[in-house]
Amino acid sequence: MHMKFSEDSENSYFFSQPHQPFFILAFVNAIVIMLIFLFSYKGIMNLSVSPLNFHVYGLTYLLFTPAFFAFLFTTFPRFASTPVIEKKRYMSVFSLYYLGSTVFLLGSIISPVLSGIGMIMVFTGHIMGALILKYVYTASNMEDKHDIYWILLAMGFGLLAHLFFLIGTFFYMPLVGLSTEISNYLYLFLLTFSVAQRMVPFFSHSIVGRNDHLLKVVFTLMLLHIVLEGIYTNSSFVVDILAGVLIGKELLRWKLQFPNPNPLLWILHTALYWVPVAFIVGGLTNLVSLISGVSFLALDIHALILGFVFTILIGFGTRVTIGHSGNIMQADKWTTRLFYWTQVVVGMRILVSLTAAFGWNFMVLFDISVTAWLLMFILWGMRFFNVLIFGKKLS
């Protein structure tokens, strides 16, 4: 299979830019993972791994991580003023990711040994991808490496979390919980926020100067959050509320026009505004959980990862796909509706958590929220897969 890739990829449009194969893989995985999770959660399918661990691992390392590589392999050399990444380098990462994803997904249904082999392949691909970014960082002669430093650091925490997940899965279960905390706050959130705080003001023509302390403060608060959660579950609520307030104040300083008439900016601004909302609401629900023992079914994590990371992934992913295919940088009606649909996905998942907290039966809403997710990626694929695979022109 790897040989076939090498031959095809020499002259195939699909492999001509790194974002194309990685986005396709990420979005196909998003559909397959959620279908398998739905079937296992409803007892239709038995998994060889715990459904929750499958959900966390699949979305973190088979959806978000290849999507990050799609974006960073394209933009990181630009940030660093270095030559573009050679095709054979990103293709070796892609091949491992593609094969590892396939083996993990099959293994999760068939056998834990197979899923373990898939995880090791994906982890190896993750290391190789991170090393490519590190090479770009080191090769850069720029004096100001502030933003790319934080992106690279977050990627490093992603590797650490990935390693802990593997050790936790095979040898010591409690490590999986720590891995999830690190991957949510110091990897998925920190990496996305490091990119967003650079790119969104730039796209929005915001003339406000950069706050050099922002990422240090955010990083410290995320670290504190993880330490507190490690000591006692839900005890991080003070840190979360503080993070929400500080980030909210910073966003107001940027003076982003909201709601923005340009959908390509509107979705990025919406994603950013989810950050303070997610931290403040998450902090308050964790306080309620701490006092009363009521479970909010990971409302805090879903508000942050869906509200911010998922929304901005669709925003940036669409932008890169349109911009790098020679299409005009604008969102048509279809794309605009997809952007609105992202918020339906976020809203439905938050409703599931609130319904569960009130002690009502949330399974119907759970089904609807998964359907909303599946529709999001299927419709996005119908619109943009032809652009990514064949370079189709959007009329």
| Contact yes or no for 146/92 (Cβ under 8 A) | no
Predicted local confidence at residue 3, as pLDDT:
39
Q: Residue 139's Cα: distance from chain center in Å?
A: 26
Predicted local confidence at residue 7, as pLDDT:
46
Percentage above 70 pLDDT, the chain: 97
Q: Cα dist. 326→17, 48, 270, 330, 383 in Å?
A: 13, 44, 26, 12, 16
Average pLDDT by stretches of 10, the chain with 395 residues: 48 88 97 95 89 96 98 93 94 97 96 95 98 95 92 98 96 94 98 96 89 96 96 94 98 92 96 98 96 94 98 96 92 96 97 93 92 97 94 85
Question: What are the DSSP calls for 305-344, one per residue?
Answer: IIIIIIHHHHHHHHHHHHHTTT--S---HHHHHHHHHHHH
Cα gap 76→70, rounded to integer Å: 10
> Locate tokens 């650091």: which residue?
153
Predicted local confidence at residue 12, as pLDDT:
82
Sequence-separated (6 or more) residues with CB below 8 Å from residue 191: 68, 151, 154, 155, 158
Predicted local confidence at residue 318, as pLDDT:
97
pLDDT tens-digit readout, 98-146: 999 999 999 999 999 999 999 999 999 999 999 999 999 999 999 889 9
3-state percent helix, strand, coil for the chain, nearest multiple of 5 = 80, 0, 20
Angle between helices 112-139 and 146-170 (to 10 degrees): 160
Predicted local confidence at residue 210, as pLDDT:
86
Nearest to 36 by CA among 6, 19, 67, 59: 59
Cβ neighbours, 10 Å, residue 173: 12
Predicted local confidence at residue 270, as pLDDT:
97
Q: What is the pTM of this model?
A: 0.95
Percentage above 90 pLDDT, the chain: 88
Predicted local confidence at residue 4, as pLDDT:
46
